[in-house]
Amino acid sequence: MAFAQAALPITGTLLRAPSLLASARYAARAQLLLLLLSFFCLTYAFITYDFSVVYVAQNSNTELPLIYRISAVWGAHEGSLLLWVLMLAGWTAALSWFSREVPADFLAKVLAVLGVVSVGFLLFLILTSNPFNRLIPAVADGKELNPLLQDFGLVVHPPMLYMGYVGFSVAFAFAVAALISGRLDAAWARWSKPWTNMAWIFLTLGIALGSWWAYYELGWGGWWFWDPVENASFMPWLVGTALIHSLSATEKRGLFKSWTVLLAMLAFSLSLIGAFLVRSGVLTSVHTFANDPTRGVFLLILICLVIGGSLAIYGYRAPSIRSSGTFSVVSREAGILLNNVFLVTAAATILLGTLYPLFLDALGLGKVSVGPPYFNSVFIPLTLPLAALAGIGALTRWKRDQFSRLVAHFGIAVFVVGVTMVSTYEKEQDLRMVPGDTYELGGVTFLFEGVVNKTKDNYISSFGTVKASREGKHIATVFPEKRTYATQTNPLTEAGIRPGFIRDLYVSIGEPLDTNGAWSLRIHIKPFIRWIWGGAILMAIGGFLAATDQRLRSPSTRREQIAATAEVASEA
């Protein structure tokens, strides 16, 4: 079906057969239904303990709770790749259903581009990562899902993140289709913008959920570590943010046409690079899936074909692209351009720091580590002018998008306040405590009551109790714990957290220090840390308001649509 979706529009254009162009819509929908069936079959295999499937046997066992048996479907490489192609098919089918205002000829080209991408990833799935490989004879019980993934975070974080990653393929397809058609006018930007906004929303929420998950699950108290795979999700977000702003200028002023197309290509290209980092085995990280070099080579070839092909089309068409508008130095358009420069520069510095160690290692020049000191020193200075531009941008207006922009930019302000406060005023202390010991930190007194062992479904917990009080008044009881799973010798830390609007009380428990009940504890007071994720939610709400407003307003520009349809028809 993916091949048909890619081939039918090309054939229809060559034969001047409108029916073949329309068939791409049905091929996209059929592809979604077939992938949904495959995904359901894999999920059913996990639910029913079908250990004759290798992937199920490697990532599940009879003691795993139902919710984690379901989320285990995408808990490792093969299943997560199936989820990836399913979401790609979902975006494509949604485009075929909800783009009635897009001329049929142009939409067929968009679907064809998405079909080509889908063919590549389906071949990658079938040839190197088949989740339905059989295990004969079947084992009586399977291995356990990675204990780090036995958490609600796995249920929501990967699907949300993938929706953002894959969603940028729609912006990419619109840009390539516009280049192929030779029409980079306001219409293609208007058609692409709501889909780009939705992808950006999902990626924003996915990154925020990942940060929140790491904060409470890993026990180290941080919310961002500049891990290479974290960076791989952050780079397309930065470029996607630039793309959203640039699309507005292209749609409403006819500006930055060539630049906007390039940003659309770059956003999805960075998503593909992120997929390569996660699935190629070139990195060792809690986020990575695969370590098979064959998969890495296949994926690298696919990425080179997609990126190289699109850039070749861009190079051929770019000299003929001309912006139809002008702007003054002091204007919203100038602010958007400056915003784009800072965002793309920030993405480039992160890309350099992420790939530089890999290139050195590949060339045999040794291993180096590029960590938070580099990223903080080069990225934070770029955020200061960006924050200023966000504040200025919120005060400008282009007709009816004022409220959504205010909400999104207010979210940025909330996020910046959260990051600044927790980075500047966080308090932390490592302690040795026995039951009955107290310690005061930041005006809060922490009382350690001890640790008891509890047996759960598939792990044993060293369950601690710590009470917090302020000026003699009890304010919270938190329960940090260490979990030991049967299949893993190293225990996992689960922090005890008392969330608050102004601050979090955060306690993690370490190892027993002697036979007298002494334990190592780490206590944090994190002011305004919830504002980080609250700001991300506000940004996503602002993006959603902009996307839905765009969807509602598109049909109102009826004259432009009729003219655009006539122009495409005449070209065909």
Return the sign of the alpha-carbon dihedral for residues 230, 232, 238, 240.
negative
Confidence of residue 368 (pLDDT cuts 50, 70, 90): confident
In this model, does residue 400 exceed pLDDT 60? no
Q: Are strands 473-478 and 459-470 parallel, antiparallel or unpaired?
A: antiparallel
Q: Which two tokens stand for residue 357?
A: 């160690």
Report the pLDDT value the prediction gives residue 556, as an integer from 0 to 100.
43
Bridge partners of 104? none
Q: Which two tokens stand for residue 476?
A: 């919270």
Report the pLDDT value the prediction gives residue 295, as an integer from 0 to 100.
83
Q: Give phi and psi for 509, each to the nearest 5.
A: -105, 140
Report the pLDDT value the prediction gives residue 186, as an integer from 0 to 100.
85
Question: Scanning the structure block, which residue is given the tokens 């619109």?
Answer: 174
In this model, does residue 428 exceed pLDDT 70? yes
| 152 three-state secondary structure | helix
pLDDT tens column, 43-91:
999 999 999 999 999 999 998 899 999 999 999 999 999 999 999 999 9
Q: Which residue has the higher pLDDT, 394 or 318?
A: 318
Report the pLDDT value the prediction gives residue 348, as an integer from 0 to 100.
94
In this model, does residue 567 exceed pLDDT 70? no
pLDDT tens column, 164-179:
999 999 999 999 999 9
Q: Contact at 8 Å (CB) between 176 and 188?
A: no
Mean pLDDT calculated for residue range 517-537: 95
Mean pLDDT calculated for residue range 426-440: 95
Which of 497, 501, 493 shows the shortest CA–CA distance to 532?
A: 501
In this model, does residue 236 exceed pLDDT 90? yes
In this model, does residue 310 exceed pLDDT 80? yes
Report the pLDDT value the prediction gives residue 256, as an integer from 0 to 100.
87
Mean pLDDT calculated for residue range 486-501: 87
| Identity at 11, one-letter amino acid code | T
Report the pLDDT value the prediction gives residue 546, as an integer from 0 to 100.
87
Helix or strand run (H / E) with residue 569: helix 558-571
pLDDT tens column, 473-484:
999 999 999 998
Q: Which residue has the higher pLDDT, 567 or 342?
A: 342
Q: How far is CA 364 from CA 133, 204, 228, 273, 360, in A?
A: 36, 37, 20, 22, 6
In this model, does residue 387 exceed pLDDT 60? yes
Confidence of residue 281 (pLDDT cuts 50, 70, 90): low
Report the pLDDT value the prediction gives residue 550, as an integer from 0 to 100.
55
Report the pLDDT value the prediction gives residue 382, as an integer from 0 to 100.
83
Between 21-25, 382-386, 545-549, the lowest mean confidence (pLDDT) is in 382-386
Mean pLDDT calculated for residue range 430-454: 94
Confidence of residue 557 (pLDDT cuts 50, 70, 90): very low
Mean pLDDT calculated for residue range 106-115: 94
Whole-structure pTM value: 0.91
pLDDT tens column, 248-260:
888 888 888 889 9
Q: How far is CA 94 from CA 31, 91, 113, 118, 285, in A?
A: 12, 5, 15, 15, 34
Confidence of residue 314 (pLDDT cuts 50, 70, 90): very high
Which of 415, 412, 441, 411 shows the shortest CA–CA distance to 426?
A: 441
Report the pLDDT value the prediction gives residue 560, as an integer from 0 to 100.
45
Q: Output the CA torsion 527→532→538→542 (10° steps).
A: 140
Report the pLDDT value the prediction gives residue 328, as an integer from 0 to 100.
64
Mean pLDDT calculated for residue range 187-213: 94
Q: How far is the C-alpha of 474 from the C-alpha of 122, rounded, in Å?
A: 57
Question: Scanning the structure block, which residue is given the tokens 């504040």?
Answer: 391
Q: How far is the C-alpha of 417 from the C-alpha of 532, rounded, in Å?
A: 8
Cα-trace Rg, the chain: 26
In this model, does residue 238 exceed pLDDT 60? yes
Report the pLDDT value the prediction gives residue 266, as an integer from 0 to 100.
96
In this model, does residue 548 exceed pLDDT 70? yes
Residue 11 has, within 13 A of its CA and on its CB side, a CA count of 11
Which of 376, 370, 341, 377 shows the shortest CA–CA distance to 355?
A: 370
In this model, does residue 449 exceed pLDDT 50? yes
Tell me, letter by letter, the H, E, C secondary structure of 304-363: HHHHHHHHHHHHHHHHHCCCCCCCCCCCHHHHHHHHHHHHHHHHHHHHHHHHHHHHHHHC
Return the sign of the alpha-carbon dihedral for residues 301, 303, 305, 308.
negative
In this model, does residue 13 exceed pLDDT 60? yes
Report the pLDDT value the prediction gives residue 393, as an integer from 0 to 100.
62
In this model, does residue 564 exceed pLDDT 70? no
pLDDT tens column, 459-468:
899 999 999 9
Report the pLDDT value the prediction gives residue 552, as an integer from 0 to 100.
47
Percent of the chain clearing pLDDT 70 (strictly above): 90
Between 196-210, 265-279, 360-374, 472-486, the lowest mean confidence (pLDDT) is in 360-374
Percent of the chain clearing pLDDT 90 (strictly above): 55
Q: How far is the C-alpha of 35 from the C-alpha of 425, rounded, in Å?
A: 49
Report the pLDDT value the prediction gives residue 50, as an integer from 0 to 100.
94
Average pLDDT, the chain: 87
Return the sign of the alpha-carbon dihedral for residues 498, 501, 504, 505.
negative
In this model, does residue 285 exceed pLDDT 60? no
My answer on whether omega of the bond before 373 falls inside 30° of 0, hence cis, is no
In this model, does residue 452 exceed pLDDT 70? yes
